[in-house]
Amino acid sequence: MTVTEVPRPDTLGSEVKIERLSVTYGSFTAVRDVSLTVPAGTTTALVGESGSGKSTLALAASRLLPPGARISAGSVVVDDTDLATLTGKPLRQARGRVAAYLAQDASAALNPVIRVGRQIGEVHRLREDASRRQADTLALEGLADVGISDPERVARLYPHQISGGMRQRVMIATALAFRPQLLIADEPTTALDVTVQAEILALVSRLQKEYGLTVVWITHDMSVVAELADRVAVLYGGRLVEHTDVLSAFESPRHPYTRALLECFQGSRDAAPKERFTTISGNPPVGGLPTGCPFHPRCRDASSECQTALPEPQLVATGHHAACHRLEDLR
């Protein structure tokens, strides 16, 4: 089989529509009734504390959930392909082409005993029946595309012989091997220092424009959100509590949880040496949600209604939704 050159798009990528998605681990619902639209060619940041459901949502959307987890309801539509319904060969074909997943820990994702170039080339051999020579050539092209100046040398190295930033570039080259319509990035810059992080963010932004990518970027770092995102989706307790454009998220957040996250972020930036950071009192729900709004046990503005009734998302401005009973009181 002849390997054909993958065309580079001249237009923006595909719109992504997540509708009423729920994900369960046994009897526990980790993501509950999430609806989210990511406009074509844009970046939406998923934010929230650990345990909020960000990574579970990403793994569900890319169909990489671990054993014991399943999509119990809803759809994930990229262009006109519903990833949630695919099985067997159609699902294998969609992985990497319709949607690709960029893992957080490149060191864990890469095989430590296989050379870097061989790992990228193996993707082409398995998916396109490429010859060894063709796969090696495509691997070198992929390394060059992600800004590695000496791809021939790097391709011969093992993962432990290259830096963390270089390993993440290798992962990006692998994820983008088939020019997917959707890239789901699960905190890929968390373990990197700020200089390398900035380089990776700039790289993803460049590749997004060149390849026509639609991106869902998971992070807990609001500075990354400000740098990269067009829109922001805030998750808490597996539910979507606020969804808006990035400017509104920073300048006029409406949900108390979004406001608390921003206070923590600003407090960490402004804190003097040995000064306590701003924190959100209490802990995220573990093992089950309270009745009513999942955030009410930690919310300083909670009312009696918040303790008993689950708030539904409301349109508070154009393109801005929030799920809170006290939206009118907290302007």
**Share of residues in the chain with pLDDT > 90 (%):** 70
Helix (H, G, I), strand (E, B) or coil at 242: strand
To the question of pTM greater than 0.95 for the whole model, the response is no
pLDDT of residue 201: 92
What is the sign of the dihedral through the CA atoms of 164, 197, 211 and 76? positive
Average pLDDT, the chain: 89
Q: What is the pLDDT of residues 255-275, one digit of tens each?
A: 999 999 999 888 666 555 656
pLDDT of residue 7: 42
Q: What is the pLDDT of residues 2-54, one digit of tens each?
A: 333 434 444 456 899 999 999 999 889 999 999 999 999 999 999 999 889 99
- Is residue 302 over pLDDT 70? yes
pLDDT confidence tier of residue 242, bands split at 50, 70 and 90 = very high
pLDDT of residue 286: 78
pLDDT of residue 268: 60
pLDDT of residue 128: 80
**Share of residues in the chain with pLDDT > 70 (%):** 93
Which strands form 69-78's sheet, in the order they lie side by side? 28-38, 16-25, 69-78, 81-82
pLDDT of residue 317: 94
pLDDT of residue 221: 87
Which region among 5-9, 165-169, 289-293 has the lowest average model confidence (pLDDT)? Answer: 5-9
- Is residue 115 over pLDDT 70? yes
Q: Which fold has domain 16-98+180-322?
A: Rossmann fold (3.40.50)
Buried b (16+ CB within 10 A) or exposed e, 27-58: eebbbbbbebebbbbbbbbbbbbebbbbbbbb
